[in-house]
Amino acid sequence: MDLMAGHEQRGFEGVFFSEHHFIASLSPTPNLLVATLAARTQRLKIGVMGNVLPFHQPWRIAEELALLDYITEGRLEIGVASGIPPEFLFVN
């Protein structure tokens, strides 16, 4: 997170996360990463390249993204994704 927060001082315009599951990374929780980074930056655009819609209830992801947009003061950029087949092997 320190590295990403430092991108603002280095002149980067934004940082984007992705959502992936069942791998060794922070990717299962991109919206939490957005909130964490928003608290540490002022101007940096922060986004999720793809919230995997089949893993979320539509009303829940809409509420969560609306709150993140408020927390980031309009710096949130969102994308949605259908997911990748290997990840669906592990869920109902």
pLDDT score, position 41: 96
Token look-up 């999720």 returns 48
Burial of 37 (0-12, 13-18, 19+ CB in 10 A): buried
d(C-alpha 41, C-alpha 19), whole Å: 21
pLDDT score, position 54: 85
What stretches in the chain show pLDDT beneath 50? none
- Token output for 72: 């980031």
DSSP letters of 20-65?
--SSSSSTT-HHHHHHHHHTT-SS-EEEEEEEEGGGS-HHHHHHHH
pLDDT score, position 42: 96
pLDDT score, position 2: 86
pLDDT score, position 92: 63
pLDDT score, position 47: 94
